[in-house]
């Protein structure tokens, strides 16, 4: 036993918790598609929602970049049916049209 570590054999690897379905439909979106989201929690305002969605989309963009696919999204505050929230769009990335 090296430095106090006990080696175990045949311990199954649990399912990766990150491989669950995405909370947002980023992987289903084509350029020009968008979705609206409003605050989900009683104490959540649009600014907190904006931060939460921005973190999720940036993580998705990074994950796709590691796989060799450049995908880009943008978001704006949006009011829909008298409800304040965000709208998120998929926009062209540099390698999709060569202009950005």
pLDDT score, position 5: 86
**Strands 83-91, 72-80: pairing kind:** antiparallel
Query: Please, which residues have CB within 8 angstroms of residue 58's CB and are 6 or more apart in sequence?
Result: none
Report CA-CA distances (Å) from 54 to 8, 9, 58: 41, 41, 6
- Residue 33 to residue 92: CA distance in whole angstroms: 11
37 located within any domain: yes
1 located within any domain: no
Q: Of all residues in the chain, what percent carry a pLDDT higher than 70?
A: 86
45 located within any domain: yes
pTM for this predicted structure: 0.72
Report CA-CA distances (Å) from 93 to 9, 14, 24, 30, 71: 46, 35, 19, 11, 6
Name the domain count of the chain: 1
Mean pLDDT along residues 70-80: 96
């Amino acid at each position: 036993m090296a430095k106090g570590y006990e080696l175990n054999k045949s311990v199954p690897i649990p399912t990766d918790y990150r491989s669950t379905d995405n909370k947002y439909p980023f992987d289903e979106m084509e350029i020009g598609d968008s979705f609206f989201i409003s605050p989900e929690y009683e104490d959540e305002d649009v600014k907190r929602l904006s931060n939460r969605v921005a973190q999720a989309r940036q993580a998705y963009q990074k994950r796709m970049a590691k796989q060799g696919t450049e995908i880009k999204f943008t978001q704006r505050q949006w009011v829909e049916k008298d409800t304040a929230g965000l709208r998120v769009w998929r926009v062209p990335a540099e390698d999709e049209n060569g202009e950005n």
